[in-house]
Amino acid sequence: MCYRSLPFDEPQPPKRKLPRNPSELEGCENLSDELVQVMMRAIAPQRTERFTDAAEFLQALITFLV
């Protein structure tokens, strides 16, 4: 797990602020850009920017893996 704490500095994610990029965290420097994009979309502060459902999230992960 890259985030050992919340991906935001605040307890409640600000609506327009992006979470910290996981590849900038210690131990996660080697994450691929593709995986980072999937992770960032999964934890986006705006609901409209996230995956619409688990199936869409799963498809993004499968696409990343193959």
Question: 57-61: which pairs have CB atoms within 8 A and are 24 or more residues apart?
Answer: none
pTM, full prediction: 0.76
Q: Which tens digits make up the pLDDT trace of 8-38? A: 666 676 677 778 888 888 888 899 999 999 9
If one compares 46 and 12, the residue with the highest pLDDT of the two is 46
Q: CA distances (Å), 52 to each of 22, 39, 64, in order?
A: 22, 14, 18
- Mean pLDDT (the chain) is 84
> Which band of pLDDT confidence, cut at 50, 70 and 90, is reported for residue 41?
very high
pLDDT at 4: 61
Q: Are 58 and 51 in contact (CB under 8 A)?
A: no
